[in-house]
Amino acid sequence: MNRFLQKIRSGEVALGQMVLELFTPGIGPMLANCGLDFVIYDMEHGRCDIAKVAEMIASCRGTGITPLARVPDLENTPLSRVLDLGAMGVMVPRVETRAQMESIVAKLKYPPQGNRGVALGLAHDLYNPRGAAYFPQMNAETAVIAILETVTAFGNLDEIVSVTGLDVAWVGHYDLTVSMGIPCQFDHPRFLEAMARLVSVCGKYKVPCGFLPPTPADAVHWIEKGFRAISLGSDVGVFMEAVRGFRRSLVEDHA
């Protein structure tokens, strides 16, 4: 069962966290016990290779949390490799065109919906090869997430978001502001206009949009704006902020 897809397909907000540094087998179960719906293991910016992500994904079994993998780029070959390792969805960075989006969906779905290669009896089916019914079931349970993070991507929003098989349009907000020539200006009118347009286009095609807000206040803000897949910051940011707060309470408040 893909809890992440269940949540967003029912119109609820799915909460998770992006992991860039704390690649310990305990991180997925800990996030599950915090009530989160998904965890994204970052292979683009994080120090996670294919062997490490396999270990991380396996550690999520039985916890109820949905393990997702952010691959390094859309040319990662084969794109479906993390699915064979048991990931329940793939996040692909720097998607800019409809042709790229269609190719991504095809690589992550079994025929007839796509052309994902077949290797059964591995981690993804718990080493228990099944019959023909397995393929449509896995197609339905595999999350496809595109990161839209350039001016080019936002110029092609309708063409990208309308592709059948896309589950979440996720904004890469830092890269987008750099691409727009307004680095890190998340209150800039042009950035806010782009976010409003993303929500509008996603609403038209019934595709949820995703965001990584750094604070609870930011999370509330973007949820109220219409975002339904939310990463509660990253492991690095949340851990360091918690330690700073702990130290501040101890050293400063009790000085």
**Active-site positions?**
45
β-pair partners for 41: 19, 69
- Nearest partner of 16 among 95, 108, 8, 61, judged by Cα: 8
